[in-house]
């Protein structure tokens, strides 16, 4: 191979790499956020007794959400549920139903771009969305902070942990948290310089270490998406009680609505 040909090969390789990295930079949020954008049915058709509510964000969006109160008088606590990066609130309905049967009220939040909501998801956008949910509960429904619990699922762990720094709840439940988005991204894309490319950071472990409130971390022992070791690190940083479900993978029903998960939430209800 002549020197000229070698230079051309190297230049082509460099151009390909640059184009690949540029594509990842532009399209990365399509890899991170996997919403089901379709409108969801009326709340009461999925969760008897639930109501459709609207949340208004500080940047002018109106988000759909479901609010469910248990039968009887005042709920023992209210749970703000922030889902993971996929699906929409309909997929969290079984969890809400089980929590309501235990005497808890539940708000199922859908982020921008999810469940028929307008907008495009981002770290900054999700922070605005969860604050709209918090305002709805504390201002519209008059839920005292001492009776408010946050529930984060996977990516939602980052959303509620960041919220808890500004508006501490009575308790925090993190299901399958990662240490930060770059760490879990490097597991999925080990051949890419993920930490250099990421626009959204979600530093869960660093933020959890600054919290001083009752917390529980639930982790699946065979989680194939978020390494269990990362969830354990978050639990240690937050001084949280660790509940490990042996053999459970990230989206197994036991981690979506199982008894151990429900009991972990109930353990945070103020007495």
Tell me the pLDDT tens digit for each residue of 99-152. 999 999 999 999 999 999 999 999 999 999 999 999 999 999 999 999 999 999
Containing domain of residue 114, as a range? Answer: 46-266
The pLDDT mean for the chain works out to 90
Look at residue 131 and tell me if it is in a domain.
yes
For the chain, percent of residues with pLDDT exceeding 90: 77
The pLDDT of residue 32 is above 60: yes
Q: Which tens digit of pLDDT belongs to each residue from 148-174?
A: 999 999 999 999 999 999 999 999 999
**Alpha carbons 8 and 3: distance in angstroms, whole number:** 9
Helices (H), 115-227: 123-135, 155-166, 181-188, 194-197, 204-208
The mean pLDDT of 10-30, rounded to a whole number, is 44
- Within-domain flag for 30: no
Yes or no: say if 123 and 201 are a contact pair by the CB < 8 Å rule. Answer: yes
Token representation of residue 68: 């469910």
Supply the CATH number for residue 104's domain. Answer: 3.40.50.1820
pTM: 0.89
Please tell me the total count of domains within the chain: 1
Q: How confident is the model at residue 270 (pLDDT cuts 50, 70, 90)?
A: very high
Categorize the per-residue pLDDT at 190 as very low, low, confident or very high, splitting at 50, 70 and 90.
confident
Length of the chain: 271
| Residue 33 counted as domain residue | no
Residue 1, domain member (yes or no): no
Q: How many CA atoms lie within 13 A of 50 on its CB side?
A: 31
Does some domain include residue 27? no
- Is residue 38 assigned to a domain? no
Task: Return the H-helix or E-strand segment holding 78.
Answer: strand 77-82
Q: What is the chain's Cα-based Rg?
A: 20
- 8 Å CB contact between 215 and 239: yes
Residue 214 belongs to a domain: yes
Q: Give the pLDDT confidence score for residue 1 in this predicted structure.
A: 58
């Amino acid at each position: 191979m002549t020197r000229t040909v070698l230079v051309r090969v190297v230049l082509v390789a460099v151009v390909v790499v640059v184009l690949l990295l540029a594509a990842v930079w532009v399209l990365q949020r399509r890899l991170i956020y996997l919403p089901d954008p379709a409108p969801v049915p009326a709340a009461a058709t999925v969760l008897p007794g639930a109501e459709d509510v609207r949340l208004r964000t500080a940047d002018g969006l109106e988000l759909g959400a479901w609010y469910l109160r248990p039968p009887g008088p005042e709920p023992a606590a209210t749970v703000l549920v922030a889902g993971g990066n996929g699906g929409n609130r309909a997929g969290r309905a079984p969890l809400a139903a089980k929590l309501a049967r235990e005497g808890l009220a539940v708000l199922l939040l859908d982020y921008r771009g999810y469940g028929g909501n307008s907008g495009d998801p981002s770290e900054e956008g999700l922070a605005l969305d969860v604050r709209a949910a918090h305002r709805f509960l504390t201002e519209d429904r008059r839920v005292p902070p001492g009776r408010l619990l946050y529930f984060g699922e996977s990516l939602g762990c980052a959303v509620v942990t960041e919220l808890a720094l500004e508006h501490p709840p009575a308790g925090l439940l993190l299901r399958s948290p990662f240490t930060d988005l770059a760490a879990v991204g490097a597991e999925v894309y080990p051949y890419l310089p993920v930490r250099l490319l990421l626009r959204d950071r979600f530093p869960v472990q660093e933020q959890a270490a600054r919290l001083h409130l009752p917390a529980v971390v639930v982790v699946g022992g065979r989680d194939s998406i978020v390494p269990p070791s990362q969830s354990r690190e978050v639990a240690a940083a937050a001084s949280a009680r660790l509940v490990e479900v042996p053999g459970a993978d990230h989206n197994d029903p036991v981690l979506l609505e199982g008894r151990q998960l429900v009991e972990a939430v109930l353990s945070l209800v103020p007495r």
